[in-house]
Structure 1
Amino acid sequence: MSIVLETKACESCAKSKRKCGKEKPRCHRCASRNLECSYPLARPGSFVLLQEDSPSTCESQTTTSPAALRNHTSDEISSPTLLGTPDLWDPSGLSEPQNVPPYSNAVLKRFHKTIQANLADWVYKGATNFIHKQLYMFRRPRCVQDAQGSLALYLARTDETEDAVFRTLDDRADQLLTDEGKHNTTSSLDTFGHLSRIHSLLTYQIIGLLDGDIHLRAKAEKRIDTLEAWIQQMMESLRFASSLLSGSGGNNTYAIINVLGLEEIVWQAWIFTESLRRTWVTVEGLHATYNALRRGWASCSAGMLLTARQGLWDAGSRYAWAEIVTGKDLWVMDGRHTEILFSLAMPDEVDGFTKMCMEISYGQERMKNWEAGVVC
């Protein structure tokens, strides 16, 4: 039987009876006051992973390691300096993936259809399961406008207009690469700019790789390395921004809070961070599954943490979001290690994006058993 360790408040905050944000290596209160910040040894939390002690009627038992689930509290997820907490978004610190059942072509193809349907929601609903509805509310780069407009044109195509639409998609994708060619270093864009251009190119890539048109696919295959490079540059940009934020002790963030309010800043920070993480997973998942179908094998990428709790992504306001966050386990976990949710949660408690990751890892049959109440 394994356990997850629960982080306690730092000794300075505990002694002063002040709320501790539990940031590492120094909490915000200690950093802003230049106080010594040290944490006591962690004690076992209330969450217990049932493994060999728990019987299962499924062929594959839950073998997820404790490190797979980061038992972050609502205070940590609701920190205004969320981007200054690298273990919430940096894949480099995650463990190696556990063994999973062999993939089937049917599951891979179903995953591709799900990605296509999710992308179409950007036109029909103003959001996808990796682009939050609020993400571009205040800042909407030209490349994002072009990509969403091109997607709308693609979805409205007819047999008579298809060739013209495909030429337009080609031109827009080529123009994006030309425009972004000057941003070939990490520091030439802020992290939001990196994420925006990735969303734009990812739109053209999903269409190109999965439509079935030979020309679109050939062009999209040539852009795979570019998208991977942009992903790496975005993560480097985020690490740099995080180091600056940690070095400033969060002073700049708290100055902004005084103007915009804590709840709004916290919600927007989570929206950006979760959109970034889901985008990373979508890109890596698209490339891995495409290569698996094309070549018969694919390399396994690093993992990325996701927030699995249902309702957070779809919350229509910061008030609705805060209500879900307060007092609940948010299930922040490595997207490759979601097997624990079969025993931890009911299907309607888990976010749809997380369930998509679970299906690609553990198969449609096991998902159906879980939804039917069969012990897994």
Structure 2
Amino acid sequence: MASNSSITTGSNLQTRAEYAASRLALQVRALAETGQTAFIHHTHVDASPILQHAFAACSLDVMRNSINASLIRSEITRRAELLIEATETAISLSPPSSDSTMNLDLLPAVQAMLIYQCMRLFSTGDVAQQAQAEQDAKPLARWVDILQEQTQWSQDSSAGGMQLDLSVWNDWIQAESIRRTIIFAELLESVYTLLRFGWYQTSERMAKLGFTGQVTLWEARSAAEWHQAMGQRPRFEVNISSFHDDIKTALPNDLDELGIVMRASYDGIDALKQWLGGDSRLLEKWGLRSRDGFASSCY
């Protein structure tokens, strides 16, 4: 939800937005190569046909070249259209604010659509694809609204004594995936709007969001690994409204992609590089050059 406050681009803000866009675009390659992104957990991909389709589309996209580009763009368009049609139909068949709407599993649809948006808004350089992605942002925004309502409904229900038949790790993954997905959706909208139109409206919703910043928790490959990290590493429960206070004791190896992008967006590229301490491995990992600028991954 946007407030009445708007921000216009400047050289520093432009650089931050370009860096954020380069990292958002890289989520496509991350899903293809690792089965996980800053907002999609690896355990969910294998369990969701929707995310499996997005994973396959990412694999196609990273192999795109001048010969097969048209075919791959058509396939991505087809998958996005089918996803919108199926999801909009499912929502339309559920009465507004009903339990059936709240029980719709919209998380995979929102996540897959965000991946398709990253492909089309930042990666292809295709005007028609970009224009279609701008149109598709409208249903996606509605899905995100419903997803956030589901989160609140779930919290209210669990507070009343509802017991979920899931492991602690799976419960955490689900909740954290939703939090990260909503944040990523807000980031995507604001970064693209700033780069495309030179301004964006500040988000009231963004200020109320949060996520767990500790990379070893988000990237744990098993419940045992996750539980071990829980006991040995600080969690860094980050609220966007108090971002700096919440990560003030974090070390460069503590944060994952989402935390790095947020830090760059708030503090700028030079401050991020300084915080990374000139570590060439970390600078390369996060697409930064030691002396000037960053290595853009948009293409």
TM-score range, shorter chain: 0.7 to 0.9
**Contact 2:214/2:235 (<8 A) preserved:** yes
Alpha-carbon distance, 1:133 to partner = 1.0
- Tell me the equivalent position of 1:60: none
2:18 is matched with which residue: 85, 105, 109? 109
Say whether residues 1:165 and 2:72 are aligned partners. Answer: yes
- Give the secondary-structure state (helix, strand or coil) at the position aligned to 1:269: helix
Q: 1:190 to 1:124 in 2, by over 3 A?
A: farther
Q: How far apart, CA to CA, are the structure 2 residues paired with 1:210 and 1:298? A: 17
Query: How do 1:1-376 residues align onto structure 2 when only pairs under 5 Å count?
Result: 103-137=12-46, 139-141=47-49, 143-184=50-91, 185=96, 187-188=99-100, 193-211=105-123, 212-247=125-160, 249-250=161-162, 252-253=163-164, 256=165, 265-301=167-203, 302=205, 303=207, 304-326=209-231, 328-340=233-245, 343-372=248-277
**Contact 2:190/2:201 (<8 A) preserved:** yes
Alpha-carbon distance, 1:307 to partner = 0.9
Q: How far apart, CA to CA, are the structure 1 residues paired with 2:61 and 2:250? A: 38
Q: How far apart, CA to CA, are the structure 2 residues paired with 1:177 and 1:351? A: 30
Q: Which has the larger radius of gyration?
A: 1
- Give the secondary-structure state (helix, strand or coil) at the position aligned to 2:106: helix
Alpha-carbon distance, 1:350 to partner = 2.9
- Give the secondary-structure state (helix, strand or coil) at the position aligned to 2:211: strand
Alpha-carbon distance, 1:327 to partner = 6.0
- Give the secondary-structure state (helix, strand or coil) at the position aligned to 2:238: strand
Alpha-carbon distance, 1:189 to partner = 5.0
**Contact 1:191/1:238 (<8 A) preserved:** no
Supply the RMSD in Å over aligned alpha carbons. 2.5
Q: How far apart, CA to CA, are the structure 1 residues paired with 2:43 and 2:65? A: 31
Unaligned runs of 5+ in 2: 279-299
Q: How far apart, CA to CA, are the structure 1 residues paired with 2:244 and 2:67? A: 46
**Contact 2:102/2:153 (<8 A) preserved:** no
- Give the secondary-structure state (helix, strand or coil) at the position aligned to 2:153: helix
Q: How far apart, CA to CA, are the structure 2 residues paired with 1:238 and 1:189? A: 12
Residue-by-residue CA offset, 1:320-373 (whole Å, 9 max, x unaligned): 111121265422121353223664232223333212211111101111222229
**Contact 1:342/1:370 (<8 A) preserved:** no
Q: Which amino acid is 1:181 matched to?
A: E
Q: How far apart, CA to CA, are the structure 1 residues paired with 2:241 and 2:267? A: 10
Q: Which runs of 4+ in 1 moved over 6 A?
A: none
Alpha-carbon distance, 1:210 to partner = 0.9
- Give the secondary-structure state (helix, strand or coil) at the position aligned to 1:291: helix
Q: Which amino acid is 1:243 matched to?
A: D
**Contact 1:107/1:360 (<8 A) preserved:** yes
Q: Which amino acid is 2:197 matched to?
A: R
**Contact 1:336/1:357 (<8 A) preserved:** no
Q: How far apart, CA to CA, are the structure 1 residues paired with 2:241 and 2:137? A: 22
Is the helix fraction higher in 1 or 2? 2
Residue-by-residue CA offset, 1:105-161 (whole Å, 9 max, x unaligned): 122111111111122111111111211111234x313x3222222222222122111
Identity of aligned residues (%): 22
**Contact 2:17/2:195 (<8 A) preserved:** yes
> Please, what TM-score do these two structures have when normalized by structure 2?
0.80
> Please, what TM-score do these two structures have when normalized by structure 1?
0.64
Q: Which amino acid is 1:200 matched to?
A: A
Alpha-carbon distance, 1:181 to partner = 1.9
- Give the secondary-structure state (helix, strand or coil) at the position aligned to 2:23: helix
- Tell me the equivalent position of 1:45: none
Unaligned runs of 5+ in 1: 1-90, 92-96, 258-264
